[in-house]
Amino acid sequence: MKAFLEKNKISITIIAAALIIAAAIWLSKRQSLAGSENAQPAQSVRPASTRIKFSDAPDYIGTTVCVTGKVNHVYTSEKGTIFINFCADYKSCPFGAVIFESVASKFPNPDQYTGKNVEITGFITAYQGRPEIVLENPAQIKIAK
């Protein structure tokens, strides 16, 4: 056996390396399909044109809808994440929208939404049990007329 291993050391090394690479590729594809930060669950059959009140958002988690309501306040964290809140107490509010720091520069003057009726379109996810839409494009939010 020892002689066989010595004689085929290079071949065995190449096979082992190929197996490791194949396993790494398989795992990375599996992880990206199962739950990367940007992955979204399969969307419901409800059309994106479905308009709902922010208070009804918990019933629409996992769907793309247009959420309507009056913005109570806008908060920007120390890290630059912007939160659009529809209730005085965001923790008990049935819906909120978030703009991460990485795209915040696309949203000049987010405070303009305070006190205004807005329409926010996007995919509703649940973060810590609370429905939210992550805004990545300014076209996702507009002041209602």
Which pLDDT belongs to residue 135?
Answer: 97
CATH of the domain spanning 51-143, picked from 2.40.50.140, 3.40.630.30, 3.40.640.10, 2.40.160.40: 2.40.50.140
Q: Is the dihedral of CA 22, 24, 25, 30 positive or negative?
A: positive
Which pLDDT belongs to residue 8?
Answer: 80
- Global pTM reads 0.67
DSSP state of 91: G
76: helix, strand or coil: strand
Which pLDDT belongs to residue 21?
Answer: 75
Which pLDDT belongs to residue 51?
Answer: 93
- d(C-alpha 87, C-alpha 128), whole Å: 17
The label of the residue with tokens 């805004």 reads 135
Q: Which of 29-38, 89-98, 121-130 has the lowest mean pLDDT?
A: 29-38
User: Residue 81 is encoded by which pair of tokens?
Assistant: 């994440």
User: Residue 48 is encoded by which pair of tokens?
Assistant: 């994106």
Which pLDDT belongs to residue 6?
Answer: 78
Do the Cβ atoms of 54 and 117 come closer than 8 Å? Answer: no
- pLDDT tens digits for range 31-88: 544 444 444 444 444 455 689 999 999 999 999 999 999 999 999 999 999 999 999 9
Domain boundaries, the chain: 2-35, 51-143
